[in-house]
A and B are shown apart, each in its own frame.
Chain A
């Protein structure tokens, strides 16, 4: 597969390490959320057959975490963003 890195252009997916669903960005706050919320966050997956937003890490590259929108049936990639931008857009701060 080829991932079009937003900064570095097309890169072979072999340079990346895969983590999983980009919902892993949405970590609850440990001081307010309890076990149930963390359980849903860490363990439960939508696991769609189709479009999937997912986290890839450019380990053999610039060490960016990316959010890749990829179809899990065809493997077609339609969007690649810096995970940091996505996280900020989702309201994550410090």
Chain B
């Protein structure tokens, strides 16, 4: 198809032709086109269907405020729904499809809704679909859900990358129209660090769409020259295709730069978009204004658009939207469109001016005091009906109609801190109110300064004020036409519908119904009718709805008020908000020192927080995980096993008050711990619940090393710093987290000492290094190391630590030098089996809900000293003698399986909450005992040892008889660990 509606001029590159398709049909356009301008150039007005009534729609705008011309852009994994054709930059090979229609855009079966619209009045669904009750989910809602929605989503992973970045400046200028350019020039020439961001791919704002002159040049040329000068300033960063999406606290703005959306695919190594977090001292909102239409019957046909958009398509893109054009206006700006189109040789058949008097353009028919009251043309405008001042109606054949109801300042970002816009009767629009984001000034049309001169001047003034400059550049000459507007929001006539929110199909009738039902507050109006809740956030429609409500209630527009805008300014791809944090890079991996060794062995890894730990290491022939885990447990208990426990938190605590400090931190006492010894410590939260546990060693008189659980390594350290800095600031105690500094291995089993003797340089015989000893040692001939004789497995066991970079080497050395003992490396599963066998508490028991008493450790809480949590641990609810107690559990039938999370019931008790006795916290298979064992919290469990109960897992229909036993299920006397 030829570009039948292309006319002369415009800022497109006619030397190059771009091919694209819409709904499968091929078209051509030029660099500089948007999808909308190119389609219009090809005579295509119909681009979409509305949400509820599936009305045929074309674009009403030439910018990001577009409610109608939404398309599915691209295909396959890159298919993106709801892209506004008016801002989609044309590229060669672009493919777009219309959406929310079936089977085709021209014939849409759901268009039946429009015929039945009287049944679909605002909020009708709140009043029906209630009977019979079960039909909502089964019948009504599925139909509604299928019919609802706009574009469709691919199920494939987004193949493009997104980035994030940080920028700092003295002044962020939002919008590069005349006000923004002047502000940036002022600040830039003064040497300030300036960022000028504009959502368009060409800076200049309305100057590109107008025929005004600025100084001695056209507006567009002045803009280009100004941009060129700014580009030479090293302190100015120009960001096109960059939308400032929101104003956040303390001068932080979010911005999205569309790096590659104008290309078929991003260049290699380039992201699709970048989310910038901009830190600025001051910002100037120079986001311009958005024209609003006038509501009248059937005002939504393709070919009816904002008057300024008609002008923009002609001036900037060299496109005439129609062959016979009319303009309907209530202000002088509509006349500009007529004038410009006429100058471009477009047939302007009439200007319908609702005002009684005003300027008359030569060669154009003016109908003053007249209003458009209806239109025809199902798939595109064919004619308008005009009610003249004398009351007579006239039908005029036109295929394009421009509407100018005045311009609304783009106050959006100014209201992101919930500042309410205030009504300015002079321009019949809302302007920025008080208490906007601190440091944000507003200039140009966004501030209600509608002439080019005023935009330039307020832009300059704002920059001078924001940066406290003494002087700015000279202002170029520019038009300073006054705003001459007589408000007209809505043409009251007849019985048809006048659209207010075009995308959501909110009409004047809906507003009337809302009034009739007393949904008169603006928020109720919005929520009841969905006015302003479409993808354009009501940029063109909201104020008309408010005005109609004001009319109906007899209140003024300021009394009626307005809703406020929320971020983002325009919709933002979720991908760019996530950036690189997706897939495997969603969160960083923390790798243990033995990771590479374990990988060589084919280990299976498990996510533990951000850590990746060895879960087990299968040997050839092992097909099931239990085989590997059982082997690791048995081999450890038979000879010796090594486990990487580097993930445990490690905190060095030093100072003359270190012991006293630990007495306050732990429920039990540490100041009495001899040097060279370690002790199990129980840490409470201030509310008396167990926070964490671990062993802490005294390495010197004023020097302790604390171990925390893996899960709480960070929070315990934070807590210690809180206690040190905020509670007891005069204590002489210093803390440092050394979790990353030391690689630590548990070496457990009857041959643990023998193996360690192969690497440790010192005497570690039982006499020299008894149970619970701790000390600084050296290994392998002089490498500094730490050794602790502690056991989580119940075996003779040690934990040995070396500087992290030697961790891998130490492991290999231990395995090589101790080969005669057949050492194995065990993973977290075997670790878990052995600790459950011993009844040690861990994740399932340390659940943030349990007390020391619950864990059977009540006596550890010393009341002879003040410690965190000591007082509140004594509250009655936490000291119930029939409360939960940690117990061991074994199935009566050794072949029966237990499941962690199952609940205890007495034999014969019904499975109801009143009989709930507690739950299993951890369950393992014990290869020594030959059956499942578990730990659990059981009410009055300490009194039930030896009794038989049931555990039930109602999710799986399991009901198992068990015996309650001591949690110390393996070597209860602890003989092995002292061996």
Residues of A within 8 A of B (CB): 1-2, 17, 19, 24-25, 27-31, 33-35, 38-39, 42, 55, 57, 59, 63-65, 74-77, 82-84, 86-88, 92-94
| Closest-CB distance, B250 to chain A (whole angstroms) | 4
Structural contact, A35 and B871, CB atoms closer than 8 A: yes
Please name 11 pairs of A and B residues whose Cβ atoms are closer than 8 Å in the assembled complex, sorted by A. A2-B249, A2-B252, A30-B871, A35-B875, A38-B872, A59-B718, A74-B438, A75-B250, A87-B725, A93-B728, A94-B657
Residue from A33, A63, A75 in contact with B249 in the complex, judged by beta carbons closer than 8 Å: A75
Question: Does A65 contact B872, Cβ atoms closer than 8 Å?
Answer: no
The reply on B4 being an interface residue by CB < 8 A is no
Q: Which residues of A contact B729 (CB under 8 A)?
A: 84, 87-88, 92-93
Report B721-761 residues with CB < 8 Å from chain A CB. Answer: 721-722, 725-731
Query: How many angstroms between the C-alpha atoms of A75 and B248 in the bound complex?
Result: 10
Q: Give chain B residues whose Cβ lies under 8 Å from the Cβ of A55.
A: 722, 726
B799 → A minimal CB distance (Å): 26
Query: Bound complex: CA of A76 vs CA of B435, how far in Å?
Result: 12
Q: Are A87 and B727 neighbours in the complex by a CB distance under 8 Å?
A: yes
Contact of B870 among A24, A30, A65, A83 (CB under 8 A): A30
Q: Give every chain A residue within 8 A of B731 (Cβ-Cβ).
A: 94
Q: Is the CB of A2 within 8 A of B250?
A: yes
Check A42–B279 contact: CB distance below 8 A.
Answer: no
Please give the distance in Å from A82's CB to the nearest CB on chain B. 8
Assembly CA distance A83 to B865 (angstroms) = 25
Contacts A1-B249, A57-B722; A25 near B438 (Cβ below 8 A): no
A55-B726, A65-B722, A92-B727 in contact; A29/B686 too (CB < 8 A)? no
- Chain B 154-175, CB-CB to A under 8 Å as 1, else 0, gives 0000000000000000000000
* Inter-chain contact B250/A93, CB cutoff 8 Å: no
Contact of B279 among A2, A29, A39 (CB under 8 A): A2
Least CB distance from A20 to B in Å reads: 11
CB-defined contacts of A25 to chain B, threshold 8 Å: 726-727
B871 and A83 within 8 A (CB): no
- Return B928 CB to nearest CB of chain A, in Å: 43
Q: Which of B855-882 contact A (CB under 8 A)?
A: 865-867, 870-872, 874-875
In this assembly, does B842 line the interface, its C-beta being within 8 Å of a C-beta of chain A?
Answer: no
Give the CA-CA distance A31 to B863 in the complex, in Å: 8
Could you tell me which B residues sit within 8 Å of A by CB distance? 248-252, 279, 417, 438, 657, 660, 686-687, 714, 718, 721-722, 725-731, 865-867, 870-872, 874-875
Name the CB-closest residue of A to B865.
A31
B251 and A19 contact, CB distance less than 8 A: no
Contacts of A33 in B (CB 8 A): 871
Residue of B nearest to A87 (CB): B729
Q: Output the nearest chain A residue to B867 by Cβ-Cβ distance.
A: A30
How many residue pairs between the two chains, A and B, have CB atoms under 8 Å in the bound complex? 82
* Identity of the chain B residue whose Cβ is nearest the Cβ of A31 in the assembled complex: B866
Of chain B, the residue at the smallest CB distance from A86 is: B726
Which of A27, A64, A94 has the most chain B CB atoms closer than 10 A to its own CB? Answer: A94
A84 near B721 with CB under 8 A, answer no
Asked whether A57 lies within 8 Å of B250 as measured between CB atoms, the reply is no
A57 to B722 CA separation, bound complex (whole angstroms): 8
B687:A1 contact, CB within 8 angstroms: no
> Chain A residues near B725 (CB, 8 Å)?
64-65, 82-84, 87
State whether A29 and B872 are in contact (beta carbons under 8 Å apart), knowing that A84-B726, A87-B725 are contacts in the complex: no
Q: Using Cβ atoms and an 8 Å threshold, which residues of chain A touch B686?
A: 27, 38, 42
Choose among B250, B687, B730, B875 the residue that contacts A92 (Cβ–Cβ < 8 A).
Answer: B730
Residue of B nearest to A4 (CB): B250
Q: How far is the CA of A33 from the CA of B871 in the complex (A)?
A: 8
B867 in contact with A93 (CB, 8 Å): no
Q: Inside 8 A of A65's CB, which chain B residues have their CB? A: 721-722, 725-726
Complexed CA–CA distance, A39 and B250 (Å): 35
**Cα separation A39 to B731 with both chains bound (whole Å):** 25
Counting chain A CB atoms within 10 Å of each CB, which of B250, B718, B731 scores highest?
B250
The answer to whether residues A94 and B722 also contact, given A35-B871, A35-B874 and a CB cut-off of 8 A, is no
Once bound together, how far apart are the Cα atoms of A79 and B370, in whole Å? 61
Given A1-B250, A63-B721, is A94 in contact with B872 using a C-beta cutoff of 8 Å? Answer: no
| Complex contact B730–A94 (CB within 8 A) | yes
Contact B726 A87 (CB under 8 A): yes
Of B438, B660, B725, the most chain A CB neighbours within 10 A belong to B725
The chain B residue with its CB closest to the CB of A67 is B726
Given contacts A1-B250, A30-B866, contact A35 B872 (CB under 8 A): yes
Tell me the complex Cα distance, A63–B725, Å: 10
**Assembled-state Cα–Cα distance A64/B726 (Å):** 10
Which of A27, A57, A86, A88 is the one whose CB lies under 8 Å from B718?
A: A57
Chain A residue at smallest Cβ distance from B250:
A2
Interface core residue of B438, B714, B728 (most chain A CB under 10 Å): B728
Output the least CB separation between A54 and chain B (Å): 12
B657: chain A residues at CB < 8 Å are 94
A27 adjacent to B872 (CB under 8 Å): no
Q: How far apart are B13's CB and chain A's nearest CB, in angstroms? A: 42
- A34, B874: Cα distance in complex, Å: 10
Contacts of A39 in B (CB 8 A): 872
Judge whether B871 and A38 touch: CB under 8 Å. Answer: yes
B732 smallest CB distance to A (angstroms): 9
Q: Given contacts A2-B279, A65-B722, could you give 17 more A-B pairs where the C-beta distance is less than 8 Å?
A: A1-B249, A1-B250, A2-B249, A2-B250, A17-B718, A30-B866, A31-B865, A57-B718, A65-B726, A77-B250, A83-B726, A84-B725, A86-B726, A92-B728, A92-B729, A93-B729, A94-B731
Give the residue name and chain of the B residue nearest to A33 (CB).
B871
B67 vs chain A, min Cβ distance (A): 33
Beta-carbon nearest neighbor of A43 in chain B: B687
Q: Which chain A residue has the least Cβ–Cβ distance from B718?
A: A57
CA A90 to CA B405, docked complex, whole Å: 63
- B722 CB contacts on chain A under 8 angstroms: 19, 55, 57, 65
Q: Which residue of A lies closest to B735 (CB)?
A: A63
B730 contacts which chain A residues (CB < 8 A)?
88, 92-94
Q: How far is the CB of A58 from chain B (nearest CB, A)?
A: 10
Closest Cβ–Cβ distance, residue A25 to chain B (whole Å): 5
Nearest residue (CB) in A for B872 is A38
Distance between B829 CB and nearest chain A CB, rounded to angstroms:
32
Instruction: Look across to chain B and name the residue whose beta carbon is closest to the beta carbon of A2.
Output: B250
Report Cα–Cα, A39/B688, bound state, in Å: 11
B251 to chain A, nearest CB (A): 7
Q: Given the complex, which residues of B lie within 8 Å of A29, measured CB to CB?
A: 866
Shortest A74–chain B CB gap in Å is 8
Query: Which B residues are CB-close (under 8 A) to A31?
Result: 865-866
Contacts of A24 in B (CB 8 A): 726
A54 CA to B870 CA, complexed, in Å: 25
How near does chain B come to A31, taking the closest CB pair, in angstroms? 5
CA A80 to CA B591, docked complex, whole Å: 37
Q: Please name all residues of chain B whose beta carbon is closer than 8 Å to the beta carbon of A38 when the two chains form the complex.
A: 686, 871-872
Cα-based distance from A4 to B857 in the complex (angstroms) = 44
Which residues of chain A come closer than 8 Å to B279, judged between CB atoms?
2
How far is A1 from B247 in the complex, measured between Cα atoms in Å?
11
Bound complex: CA A74 to CA B384 (Å): 51
Check A76–B871 contact: CB distance below 8 A. no
Bound complex: CA A34 to CA B873 (Å): 11
A93 to B726, alpha carbons, bound, how many Å?
10
CB of A24, distance to nearest CB on chain B (Å): 7
Asked whether A94 and B726 contact (CB < 8 A) given A1-B250, A35-B875, A42-B686, the answer is no
Could you tell me the distance between the alpha carbons of A34 and B718 in the complex, rounded to whole angstroms?
26
A residues in contact with B251, CB < 8 Å: 2
Residue of B nearest to A19 (CB): B722
CB distance from A66 to the nearest CB of B (A): 9
CB-nearest residue of chain A to B661: A94
List, in ascending order, chain B residues with CB within 8 A of A1's CB. 248-250, 252
Determine if A57 and B721 form an interchain contact, defined as CB atoms under 8 angstroms apart. Answer: yes
Across the interface, which residues of A come within 8 angstroms of B721, CB to CB? 57, 63, 65
Within the assembled complex, what's the spacing in Å between the Cα atoms of A83 and B657? 20
